[in-house]
Amino acid sequence: MAEIGILGNGVAANLAAAYFRKTFPDLGVAVIGRNPPRRPIVGESLVEVSTLFIRELGLGPLLIERHHPKYGLTYYYKQKLEDPSDRRYVVDEAPALPPFPSFEVNRFTFDRDLRACNAAAGVTQLEDRIVDVEIVKGAHRVLSEAVDGSKRETVCRWLVDATGRSRVLGRRLGLHIRPALQKDVFWFWLVDFDPALLSRIDAVKKENRSFDSYYCTHHFFGRGSWIWCIPIVAEDRRPMISIGITYRKDLHPREIRSLADFLEQVGAEHPVVTDLVRSGSVRETNFYGSYMYEATRRYSPDGWFLLGDAADTVDPLYSLGLALTSLQVRQIGAAIAEERRGAPTADFVADLDTAFENAHHLATHEITDLYRVMHDPWRCHMRMHLAILAMFHLAVPLSMSGYMWDPAGVKIFNGLMRREALAAELGRLAALVDAAAPARPGYLKVQSVFSLNHRFFEHVRETDIPRSLAALCLYLAALRLSLLRRLGPRGLVAFRHQGAALRDLARAAALRALFQGARLKESRIARRVLAEPPKARRAAARRGVLDRPAFRPSPEAS
Ligand SMILES: Cc1cc2nc3c(=O)[nH]c(=O)nc-3n(C[C@H](O)[C@H](O)[C@H](O)COP(=O)(O)OP(=O)(O)OC[C@H]3O[C@@H](n4cnc5c(N)ncnc54)[C@H](O)[C@@H]3O)c2cc1C
């Protein structure tokens, strides 16, 4: 019997195994899953949250020794998208060296090193094909087939499904839905290329004295689509770059399934990218059609959990995949710890599920909507500025302070991150951006020291969260007023937006007056005012967000 059984043998499974081994040294951890030599994995780009998690596992030196540093994300907003001969881009880079290190990892190298570390730490590794799973609270059973064809059964108290897009447990329990707005993605790796070609553009940008502009994740925007270029180190130590395009199927003119499609269609918008591709040799192409799905539930008090791609797909625009996976691993660890303490877990597990769903859906749905304006550089950069402000002032400070997995903190997280309310707020701001767009105001710095909240990340103190939230509200009020000014006389009668600016000012004042310097999860007033109200929880339960029946067939399963 292994106390914790993990299905799958990819990055999510092995990060979880490393974390559980370190957090619960008295529990046996088994990873059960195939490790095929070639898999369709991407690059890929880490962010601060995923990097910190990996460093906490003791793998920081591996990142430094084997992978490229990543100096943030760089966005290229093309001014005349329809004109291939025009190479003028507004380029937005990180404003300075980011406060935490991050990396561009070669997943083949990283996953291999991670497995070796897990083996040395005593994780049981069964490179089997999973044949069947039976959910029995306290003694889940996994039937698997070893490479030599022999069958074996593993019994475990907690079961984590990290089987990626195969979604072994989720499919069995009918836990997935397919959003109506679907995306395709096509990508490949390139070697022996000329990296200098990426800078052959007419760039409008702040002078960069902090870092080499090549060591970033490069993002180009097109009609209903965006392209990534992620510099990585090949397993033979040669420079390599992961290049791909993801597009919303209802907005992008045609499918891209092959290199020829890519060169033709991307070449019409971004010849700088296709020049780069033509300068090198392409290694292996990959395509996922209609790749988006979401779980209706990820965690159960019966001791099973869906993790990583086995739960939800992520649109990779902000490199959130492994960051969200690392947050999930901490959440699952917290649920296991609570159960081991003998506390009732149903309510806590439902809160954890809601917290993840709020964070994931808010980010994913906001990105899905962004595709509508990706061809319009000004609107696209404004919408991204707003999303980045929300991420770095709200979601990241709360999650880095443990509010996504602390029993009291998670209620505040769910109160502040209520996705219907935040989506409505972002929707109002997007409408204001749309209204101001014809006046063609100047460009803002999408990633500024303020929008990336460097002030908070200098210390990462829970007690600075109220100040960080108040600063966001004040900034949004000022931004709304400056956009309203662009509307001319129409701005004077835009009462809805004026009301929103006043609400932001009132929120900033209240946060300062009531919570300045407080630990929100320990403050009785904060728990009363900011935590998800019981009414909202009851409404969520009615909608089926909480306490969902485990075996309800989903539209996809049926
Ligand atoms: C286009 C794209 C770009 C991305 N870019 C980034 C990025 O830049 N940064 C980032 O952080 N994230 C990114 N992501 C997300 C990230 O790549 C994924 O979240 C991550 O790879 C998922 O890992 P996983 O372990 O959940 O799944 P997988 O890597 O798919 O692992 C699943 C494992 O389960 C095993 N398995 C499945 N079924 C069975 C079975 N029946 N029996 C035995 N074994 C089985 C498989 O062999 C495999 O080992 C991107 C995703 C996409 C699609």
Nearest CA to ligand 1 atom 35: 8
The pLDDT value given to residue 39: 77
Backbone angles phi, psi at 167, to 5 degrees: 50, 55
Is 50 part of a structural domain of the chain?
no
Q: Which atom of ligand 1 lies at the shortest distance from residue 8's CA? A: 34
| Pocket probe mutation, ligand 1, options 73, 309, 324, 326, max atoms within 8 Å of Cβ | 309
Q: Which atom of ligand 1 lies at the shortest distance from residue 313's CA? A: 19
| Pocket probe mutation, ligand 1, options 15, 39, 42, max atoms within 8 Å of Cβ | 42
C-alpha of residue 42 to centroid of ligand 1, in Å? 9
Q: Which residue has the tokens 């490199």?
A: 319
Q: Domain tally for the chain?
A: 3
Token pair belonging to 453? 């909240």
The pLDDT value given to residue 156: 97
C-alpha of residue 465 to centroid of ligand 1, in Å? 33
CA dihedral 446, 447, 448, 454 (to 10 degrees): 150
Claim to verify: residue 139 and residue 277 sit in the same structural domain: no
Q: Is 495 helix (H, G, I), strand (E, B) or coil?
A: helix
Nearest CA to ligand 1 atom 52: 316
Q: Is 215 helix (H, G, I), strand (E, B) or coil?
A: coil
Interatomic CA distance for residues 373 and 107, integer angstroms? 31
Q: Going by DSSP bridges, is the β-strand pair 2-7/29-32 parallel, antiparallel, or unpaired?
A: parallel
Is 128 part of a structural domain of the chain?
yes
| Pocket probe mutation, ligand 1, options 314, 326, 332, 364, max atoms within 8 Å of Cβ | 314
Nearest CA to ligand 1 atom 31: 10
Claim to verify: residue 146 and residue 245 sit in the same structural domain: no
C-alpha of residue 215 to centroid of ligand 1, in Å? 24
Claim to verify: residue 369 and residue 458 sit in the same structural domain: yes
Nearest CA to ligand 1 atom 22: 309
Q: Is 264 helix (H, G, I), strand (E, B) or coil?
A: helix
Is 282 part of a structural domain of the chain?
yes
Category of 192 on φ-ψ map: left (φ > 0), alpha (ψ -120 to 50) or beta: left
C-alpha of residue 353 to centroid of ligand 1, in Å? 20
Nearest alpha carbon to residue 46 among 208, 230, 226:
230
Q: Going by DSSP bridges, is the β-strand pair 129-134/124-126 parallel, antiparallel, or unpaired?
A: unpaired
Q: Is 485 helix (H, G, I), strand (E, B) or coil?
A: helix
- CATH assignment at residue 320: 3.50.50.60
Claim to verify: residue 236 and residue 382 sit in the same structural domain: no
The pLDDT value given to residue 547: 42
Is 322 part of a structural domain of the chain?
yes
Nearest CA to ligand 1 atom 13: 321
Interatomic CA distance for residues 550 and 558, integer angstroms? 15
C-alpha of residue 286 to centroid of ligand 1, in Å? 13
Claim to verify: residue 219 and residue 318 sit in the same structural domain: no
Hey, how many other C-beta atoms are within 10 angstroms of the C-beta on 141? 15
C-alpha of residue 39 to centroid of ligand 1, in Å? 9
Claim to verify: residue 158 and residue 275 sit in the same structural domain: no
C-alpha of residue 72 to centroid of ligand 1, in Å? 22
Q: Is 241 helix (H, G, I), strand (E, B) or coil?
A: strand
Nearest CA to ligand 1 atom 47: 34
Q: Which atom of ligand 1 lies at the shortest distance from residue 164's CA? A: 27
Nearest CA to ligand 1 atom 14: 321
Is 61 part of a structural domain of the chain?
no
Claim to verify: residue 503 and residue 449 sit in the same structural domain: yes
- CATH assignment at residue 220: 3.30.9.40
Which one-letter amino acid corresponds to residue 91? V
Category of 290 on φ-ψ map: left (φ > 0), alpha (ψ -120 to 50) or beta: left
Q: Which helix (H) or strand (E) holds 320?
A: none
Backbone angles phi, psi at 173, to 5 degrees: -90, 0
Q: Note down the domain range covering 319.
A: 1-38+107-175+298-340
First CA to last CA across the chain, in angstroms? 33
Claim to verify: residue 100 and residue 115 sit in the same structural domain: no
C-alpha of residue 187 to centroid of ligand 1, in Å? 15
Token pair belonging to 126? 């069964």
Q: How many residues does the chain have?
A: 558
8 A C-beta contact, residue 298 and residue 310: no
Ligand 1 site residues (CB inside 6 A) read 8-13, 33-36, 41-46, 50, 129-130, 162-166, 168, 185, 187, 244, 308-310, 314, 316, 319, 321-322, 325
Q: Is 99 helix (H, G, I), strand (E, B) or coil?
A: coil
C-alpha of residue 390 to centroid of ligand 1, in Å? 27
C-alpha of residue 102 to centroid of ligand 1, in Å? 20
Q: Is the peptide bond before 48 cis (omega within 30 degrees of 0)?
A: no
Claim to verify: residue 217 and residue 200 sit in the same structural domain: yes
Claim to verify: residue 359 and residue 444 sit in the same structural domain: yes
Claim to verify: residue 437 and residue 530 sit in the same structural domain: yes
Claim to verify: residue 144 and residue 87 sit in the same structural domain: no
C-alpha of residue 165 to centroid of ligand 1, in Å? 7
Backbone angles phi, psi at 61, to 5 degrees: -60, -35
Interatomic CA distance for residues 55 and 38, integer angstroms? 26
Token pair belonging to 33? 């899953």
pLDDT in tens, the chain (558 residues): 689 999 999 999 999 999 999 999 999 999 999 988 777 878 789 999 999 999 999 999 999 999 999 999 999 999 999 999 999 999 999 999 988 899 999 999 999 999 999 999 999 999 999 999 999 999 999 999 999 999 999 999 999 999 999 999 999 999 999 999 999 999 999 999 999 998 889 999 988 889 999 999 999 999 999 999 999 999 899 999 999 999 999 999 899 999 999 999 999 999 999 999 999 999 999 999 999 999 999 999 999 999 999 999 999 999 999 999 999 999 999 999 999 999 888 999 999 999 999 999 999 999 999 999 999 999 999 999 999 999 999 999 999 999 999 999 999 999 999 989 999 999 999 999 999 999 888 999 999 999 999 999 999 999 999 999 999 999 999 999 999 999 999 989 999 999 999 999 999 999 999 999 999 999 999 999 888 776 656 555 554 444 443 333 334 432
Is 293 part of a structural domain of the chain?
no
Which residues are bridge partners to 68 per DSSP?
104
DSSP 45: B
Hey, how many other C-beta atoms are within 10 angstroms of the C-beta on 324? 23
8 A C-beta contact, residue 20 and residue 27: yes
The count of C-alpha atoms lying within 13 angstroms of the C-alpha of 105, restricted to the half-sphere facing its C-beta, is 27
Which residues are bridge partners to 160 per DSSP?
6, 305
Is 397 part of a structural domain of the chain?
yes
Is 355 part of a structural domain of the chain?
yes
Q: Is 305 helix (H, G, I), strand (E, B) or coil?
A: strand
The pLDDT value given to residue 256: 98
C-alpha of residue 454 to centroid of ligand 1, in Å? 31
The pLDDT value given to residue 534: 63
